[in-house]
Structure 1
Amino acid sequence: MNDNNPDLLMGADAIARFLGITRRQTYRLVYDGLLPSFKLGGTVAARRSSLTAWLAEAETAAA
């Protein structure tokens, strides 16, 4: 975890741990454009707040 910005998740492993999915599933969601993420250099990154909102939106849509 990045102590300077606790909202920022750097790398597919960190995102996967946060979402409770595998690294491979994370990359699939990123490259399919389904996961709110961005690149910092060559590293995939996401904000916890964006992922939380994305999950809540997906949950609402499924209901």
Structure 2
Amino acid sequence: MSASSARPSGANDTGLPLADDLMTGAEAIAKFMFGDATDTNKRRVYHAADKLGLPTFRIGATLCARRTTILTWIAKQEQQGSAA
């Protein structure tokens, strides 16, 4: 049995179900990253996605991201910051 077939249906590489990993909309991403979804925080998400390399994608017009991918990106930002 391959590793991919051992995962639950819809799970990502971490074994987390896609529905639990996927965030849809700047509001959901802002809540995850900043604790709330004020207009300022939603703008911060759009800015980070457009200018800072925040890993997002779109489903139609909706900005989406995976929690696990965002956490990995943040960890890389921390490493680069401490190396500077």
- Larger Cα-atom Rg: 2
Using the size of structure 1 for normalisation, the TM-score is 0.87
**2-side partners of 1:28 and 1:61: how far apart?**
20
Backbone CA RMSD of aligned residues: 1.8
Unaligned runs of 5+ in 2: 1-17, 36-40
The alpha-carbon deviation at position 45 of structure 1 amounts to 0.1
More helix by share: 2
Using the size of structure 2 for normalisation, the TM-score is 0.66
Q: Higher RCO, 1 or 2 (CA under 8 Å, sep at least 6)?
A: 1
Unaligned runs of 5+ in 1: none
Structure 1: 4+ residue segments shifted above 6 A: none
Count of aligned pairs between the two proteins: 61
